[in-house]
Structures are given as C-alpha cells and as structure tokens.
Structure 1
C-alpha cells in the first residue's frame, strides 16, 4: 500500500481491500510465501485480462478464477523492467573509469543495460544528456547537489543475470512486462515499448542463473580492459535475508564497482553500520549506493532523485 500511495490510486484501493478480505487472504495462503506480493497478484490479474478498476469486481473475478491466478503468480515474478531507473544510475556510471562492462543482477529483459542509448533531462537543469534521436526520453525530478554527468558512459559489454530472463522479442514476455506496469502509468507502457525496440536491435547477453552461484562466472567474462560494474535495482527484497548478506559479501569481493538501488527497508540489513535519513512516512524510497556508500534516495521507478549531502 505504501509503495502505491501517490503513484497508483487503483492499486492502493485494491491493497486495502485485499488486506481486509478473509477469503482472498485464505486463498493467498495457498500461494508460495515468496509469491504473496501485491504487485504480483495485481499483475497476474491484468495479464489474465481480469478487472482491477474496482475492488468488488476484482474480488469476485479473482475468487472465480483463482486457479489461473495462483498458477500465474507461482510461475511468474515481479520483474518490472523500468528503463527510467537509468536516470538514477547515470550520474554514478558517468563518473566511473571508462569504458564500462555492465552486469545487472535481476536483469529481467535487460532494459536497464542500455543507459547510453536513452536521453535524459534532470528537472531544474537545462542540459539534455544522451543521443538526440533516442526514442526513450527520461525525465527525473532532482533535489540536492546532484553531480551532473560531464559525459555519457561508454559501454562496451552488457550482461544480465536472472532466474527467469525475459525476451522482449517474445510477445508473451512483453505482455507480462506491460502487465507489471501500474494501470495509471500509460507513459511507462509507451517507454517500455520504445526501450524494447532498442533492445531488440542489439540484444544483451542474458543468463539464467542464481545471484550467488552464477555471478562470479558471468563476471569473469567481462573484458579486462573495461571497468566491471555490477548493479541491481529492487532485487534483494525478493530473496531471504541470509542470501542478501551472502550476496553482499560476494559482490564486494569482485573487481570493479558495485551499484545498489534497493528499498530503504532492505538497506539497513545489508549495511547495518550505515544510517540513511529516510522519512518514516510517505512514498516508498530506494537507497542508491556505490560500493556500499549511500549517495541518494530515489523513487522506485526512477522518477525522482534526492542527492544526499
């Protein structure tokens, strides 16, 4: 509910209704615990062409079609692939030694592996960054002393690791990615399609694998002459706490740099020694960090960035 507040009135209403519905909660108990996520329930409903506009219609449809809903929730994952998160990553990527070898953990379809292919505008700043003819134009609201890029990153290698990588050349995978976008966000659906067109023309190397068992082997394939950058956005909340800690130790031992963009509720678990001033109320925020050092607070879909002093 907190994640949807101010972003999707539809999902906020549905989340409140589900939380008070004993029948739906009982049905959700039959879904594997890691899959009992509001976004996954609502996306599965939309993927199956169910109604989400009104809680009563949603509830009646979900109960009648629960076998299909539960099967979709069990088979699928919340693999939101939001290209706008590159607006959060760009100020960090542009400051690292170039060229870059990008490796995204939890890559979904790999749309965030193309920060050099998108165009950026940061509110309050007149300069536009990125290719002038890019069909993907990102706008990010910013506060604080953000270090604007002096150049665009030079990416010479892109790879992604995911338990279930998606392929935007497949209509069904693209339909699932669209179902994950909240109902009111038509601009995000347009952006998804535009970014998918870029990825289709130059597909990244996506590997099906585990973030612990398979990351070192994939990282070793990065070209030696490039700076390896392992990054991830809104991934670690989906794995158990011991896995988060093991991943933190693993990625710290790799060469290059590590960019994490994870929810503020996850950050204290992986960096207990660091305190970040996150508001207790209001919309959910992520903490952007470079090699464990917090740099900024970010909206989950990359639409806002508050650079820390």
Structure 2
C-alpha cells in the first residue's frame, strides 16, 4: 500500500463526490481505508487509477451500484480485468452542458463556423447549433432562451448567470470534427455503454441530457479522427470547408497534457488561420492575452483567442460575463 492511493480516494470522498454521488463518496471512502483494494489500484499509474475512471470501468465490467462491500467483492474477484481495462482507458468527460459556458465566446464569432474539438470523445460538444440554451438568473428565474433555427431541441442546456448578459446567439455550424486518442462512436452499443458508465450514480439529469445528445449525434455523426491532437491537428483542420471560420475548441482537454505538450499544442493552434476557444483553470497555462490574475476567478476562465470572456463552472452550470477583460476579443 502507498499513502498516495489512500490520500487520493480520501480527497475524492471528502471534496469531489459529495453533492454529486453518494455512491461514489461511499466507495471512495471505503478504498481510502482498505489496504487490499489499494494494493489492486497500486498496479495502475496515477493517471489510470483516478476514482471516476476506476468506478466507471468497474461498472462497465458489471459491478452493481450498491454499497461498498458489494463493490469491494467485485473488484477483488475481477482485479486483473479491472486493471487491464483501466490501463487502456481514460476519463472522457463528454458533458454537453459545457457548451453553455462556451456560448459567450462562440457568440463573438461570425459564421458560418467549422468547429474542430480536440479531446472530443463522442463529439457531444460539437453541436451547439442543435441544442437549446436556457440562461437563468441567480434567483432561478429565466433571463434568456435560445433555440436552434428549426425549433426547440430535446437537449436543454441550463446555466445560471448573475450580472450582465452579453449578446448571445446560436452559432451557425456547417462542419464539425473532433480528434481524440480513443474516440467514441455513439452508434456503437459498446461505446454508448462506456459513455453511460462515465455518468456518476445519482446524476439523473445529466444522464438524460447525455442520452438525448447521443441521439442527436447518432443521427448526424461528426468526423472523428483517432490519434494525438498535435499530430493530427493540421491534417484535420485542412479538411474544413472553404468560406467557413475555423474554430478550434479545447474545453477541458489541456489539463491532461504534460506542460511542454500543452504549450506546443497551443502554439500549433495559434499558427492556424483559426479562432481558438477554451475553458481552463486560470493557472493551467500562460496563454492568456493579456495576463490574468487567477485570484480573480471563482471558476475556470473561458477565452476566445486567449482573451478571457467569462468566469465559469468547468462543466457549464454557471458563468459570469467578464467584459472588462475580454471585450476586445471579437
């Protein structure tokens, strides 16, 4: 046993799972006090033994959503398969609600848009033109609703916004593509099962949202290229149609790259004839233009071409317009 495994799961149980999943909070707390299960997880690298990944893989393999003792029995009985599957997979947070936080940046870009997402997973965040958006005030009352040109969508992305609202619009997307090390095809039953297993127990609303988004994506799938984003970027970008504004999106994927690779990817994106939108922790990189003070954020920075336009929850549940920082981003 190493303290690192116990500490990681204890932190997850205390700080990350509460309010999202009582089941995962119980499982993580159990691991933090269980030397035998910790010994199984020690066989994995830190990246591949993250609680959400281990829990998702165990459910994909057949672990039932029950108490910790049930889950523990499954893990110990299936340790080799669990380790093998965790070692080949990564956490793929394909949350379409992130588009609610990206909407202020997307609204600043003239269409038509060719949208390319790096770390796209199943590509659920490539369809801002097919989803509806509802912006609520801090009091919970609706402030603004936007729908696709053909009417209300089965996917409604709801966020809370206090303060000023910038001009918002549903973007015109004429081409959509993604790059991912292990892309997910929502038309494939096994791939759908994996994406569903990544939804934490108790996240019923999220489950319904992702299921509805998968139906939309399956009916008109994007171009998804398997491979390294840096290596594939230029070739996939070159496939974008002429006459459309190429927009490269990196929501939540840069954190998974080592720092030197992160810098290289950002430089490659900026070398393209393209706009760049992202949502990252303020301290994640130094690509903000102008430089920002991380202490001024309660969430993540949403930026267009490096200029911050919003402070937001990383999964899009709330955002705050930052016109003073990003007003010249267009």
Please give the TM-score of this superposition, normalised by the length of structure 2: 0.84
Q: How does 1:1-309 map to 2 (within 5 A)?
A: 1=12, 2-124=15-137, 125-131=142-148, 132-149=151-168, 151-264=169-282, 267-268=284-285, 273-276=291-294, 277-279=296-298, 285-308=299-322
Root-mean-square deviation (Å): 2.1
Q: Distance in 2 between matches of 1:4 and 1:255?
A: 41
- Aligned residue in 1 for 2:3: none
Whether the 8 Å contact between 1:81 and 1:108 is mirrored in structure 2 is: yes
1:73 aligns to what SS in structure 2? helix
Offset, 1:175: 0.7
CA distance 1:241–1:28, change in 2 (3 Å): farther
Structure 1 distance, partners of 2:58, 2:30, is: 15
Residues in 2 aligned to 1:19 and 1:261: alpha-carbon distance in whole angstroms: 31
Counterpart-to-counterpart distance in 2, 1:113 and 1:290:
16
Q: 1:92/1:28 Cα in 2 relative to 1: closer, same or farther (>3 Å)?
A: same
Retained in 2: the 8 A contact 1:118–1:134? yes
- Structure 1, unmatched stretches of 5+, are 280-284
Further displaced range: 178-187 or 31-40: 31-40
C-alpha contact 1:268 1:274 (8 A) present in aligned 2: no
Task: Name whichever of 3-12 and 120-129 sits farther off.
Answer: 3-12
Tell me how far 1:223 sits from its aligned partner. 2.0
Q: Distance in 2 between matches of 1:82 and 1:295?
A: 20
Give the distance between the partners of 2:306 and 2:252, measured in 1 at CA: 15
TM-score, length basis structure 1:
0.90
Q: Number of aligned pairs? A: 302
In structure 2, the gaps of 5 or more residues are 1-11, 325-330
Aligned to 2:328: none
- When Rg is computed on C-alpha atoms for both structures, the one with the higher figure is 2
Residues 154 and 133 (structure 1 numbering): CA distance in 2 closer, same or farther, change over 3 Å? same
Deviation for aligned residue 1:98? 1.2
Shift of the 69–110 alpha-carbon distance from structure 1 to 2, 3 Å rule, reads same
Of 22-31 and 3-12, the range deviating more from structure 2: 3-12
Q: Quick one: structure 1 residues 53 and 290, their matched pair in 2 at CA, closer, same or farther if it must change by over 3 Å?
A: farther
